[in-house]
A and B are shown apart, each in its own frame.
Chain A
Amino acid sequence: MKTGARTSRASALAAVAAAGLLAVLPFLGAAPFTITLLTEALIFAIWAMSLDLLVGYTGLVTFGHAAAFGLGSYAAGYFAREVTADFLASLLVAQVVVVAVALTIGFVATRVSGVAFAIISLCIAQVLFQVAVAWRSVTEGMDGLVGVPLPKLLGLTVDAGTEFYLLTILIVLAVYVGLSRLVESPFGRTLQAIRTNEDRAAAIGINVRLHKWLAFILSWAIAGIGGTLMVFMKAGTTPMSLHWSESGNVLVMAIFGGLGTLFGPLIGAVAFVFLRDEFTTRFEAWQFAFGLVFVVVVLAFPTGLAGIITHVWRSLWRARS
């Protein structure tokens, strides 16, 4: 137990140190474009970590996680444009909307698991996608929500670029530390028990459905935070943010990084954004390269980047001692 507490404190310290390093990058002459990419990557990291809670820790593979992200974007963006650009107020509104939807959807969807859950989540995300396309008076259809103002924090405008980047780092850090504590808590252990064996978890008295439901709601809420940041970063959103190809992308980030490790999806998201940028500028067939990497990872490295890194780290550690 004691070593567990020590490692989690060490990993929290490492996270703070890493965040600090990221935060000084703009002042060390990093190009504005790199900062933009990093901001996007970190927002995706929030989304990928939220997916990991559901897929990696609870064992519910979803093909509709874009719904949570896109819904958060629409709710926050609409509120910010129509009422006030205050960041915290928009975040709160987005959270209320996302959690309300997740409460109802999660209640029915978590009745099933496995492939059935994957397809149901896909269908639900497509419902939201179609609603975003069809409900033109609010969502402006395929054109999407545009003209979202810059966010205000405590009355001060957060400028695009460095200031927004720093805000994103703070939120990613909070989400990472919060989630790491959560997965180590009795609640997190319970989720992992359900992932390992649903029937046995139920047999030792765990309310499986309740825990799956709670994990679903929590996962959506955190994805909604990512969506809120994204709508401010891009000053708008389109129905494509809800499309199932986006749900696939976030799965790629989490699996590529390594499910069940929080740290994995984080580096997975960063790797995804930078690799995609490289691939799209260098290769004509970036989708092909992308699919190939994904297939190879699923086939040969089911533990992802994080698995490879831990493996190397452990063998170095052993060699030293």
Chain B
Amino acid sequence: MDWNFVFVSILNGVVYGAFLLLTSLGLSLVFGLGRVVNFAHGALYAMGGYALIAVMRGAGAGYWPALVLAPLLVVPVAIAIERATIYPIRHRHDIYTLLVTFGLSFMIIGGIEYLWGTGTTLLKPPPPFTGTVDILGNQYPLYRILAAGVSLLISAGVFAVIQLTPIGLRIRAITDDAGMAEALGVNTKWLLTLVFGCAAGLAAFAGALGAPIFAIHPEMGMNILLDSFLAVILGGLGNLPGTAIGAFVVALTKSIGGGYIADWSLALLFAVVAVALIFRPTGVFGRGRVA
């Protein structure tokens, strides 16, 4: 067995897991709050990547300011989308919001293809993180380490907001029992709009941060959307610590399994998740909710 190969696979898995964490936290939060299964989350991730390109090309900005600006541009767009399409049908069955976000995903991807074409853009890692770093005899791209670190820091920030701030308290209250929270005077409707916007911002940030690693193309969000779903289901919908574990389980299975049993690893993963959801609808690790 080639241990260097295994080691690099694990590193790749951890890096991808950190990105998956950013996208699946948003997905999980939005579901926990409003029972909205957001199929457009992958498209919002792609929107982040393209917002980055737009800022860099349009305003001639450097990578770092663009990275900060891109998600800030996506947040108001996402808030407008939520107000226009999800807000009016919140009283209807859960399944309608799922269908609407599915249509939105088509619209966003179609819009991107119209504005920027269907081509793939590969950004170079920004200086001074262009080189590689030596980890146990393996040359590993420095930017990946940095990006994973930033992702983990931001995710920690999200956890801190949810656990420590008054707004986080309200979010947890609604996730636990929306009716009771509302009875106690929490404005659930505006909070969902706000959280939807912030979740989109997180996804967009992940898309922009990942641009030098995963490349930018209109469908870039599709795989990460599916993987985020898997992570969120494994962890239990609405359960954030579970989601975090789920993200790394999915990412590591993909990167390590992919090296040995190729595409079978994904088939296995989907099967495991389907079985998990049937027999542990609250998630493998605990207290999320589905039905």
Contacts and interface: CB of A to CB of B under 8 A. Distances in A.
Size bracket of the A interface = 35 or more
Contact of B99 (A108, A111, A298): A298
Contacts of B49: none
Interface in A270-321: 284-292, 294-295, 298-299, 302
B265 to A, nearest CB: 8
A112 B107 contact: no
A131 interface: yes
Given A133-B263, A299-B100, A126 B95 contact: no
Contacts of B233: 119, 123
A291 B85 CA distance: 12
Interface string A94-128: 00000000000000110111111011101110110
A119 B229 contact: yes
Contacts of B266: 126, 130
Given A118-B98, A130-B263, A287-B113, A112 B291 contact: yes
Contacts of B100: 295, 298-299
B164 interface: no
A244 B113 contact: no
A255 B99 contact: yes
Interface in B34-70: 35, 37
B262 interface: yes
Contacts of A118: 37, 95, 98
A287 B89 CA distance: 23
A251 interface: yes
Interface of A: 61, 108-109, 111-116, 118-120, 122-124, 126-127, 130-131, 133-134, 244, 248, 251-252, 255, 284-292, 294-295, 298-299, 302
B242 to A, nearest CB: 15
A70 to B, nearest CB: 14
A61 B37 CA distance: 13
A291 B107 contact: yes
A288 B37 contact: no
A187 to B, nearest CB: 24
A150 B264 CA distance: 32
Given A114-B291, A298-B103, A288 B111 contact: yes
A252 to B, nearest CB: 8
Contacts, number: 126
A291 B106 contact: yes
Interface string B238-277: 0000000000000000000000001110110011011101
A288 B113 CA distance: 9
8 contacts: A109-B274, A111-B278, A119-B233, A124-B270, A287-B110, A289-B110, A298-B99, A299-B85
Main secondary structure of the interface of B (DSSP, over half): helix
Contacts of B278: 108-109, 111-112, 120
A287 B277 contact: no
B96 to A, nearest CB: 6
Interface in B60-103: 85, 88-89, 93-96, 98-100, 102-103
B162 interface: no
A121 to B, nearest CB: 9
A100 to B, nearest CB: 17
A286 B218 CA distance: 14
B105 interface: yes
B114 interface: yes
B20 interface: no
A284 B113 contact: yes
A134 B267 contact: yes
Contacts of A127: 267, 270-271, 274
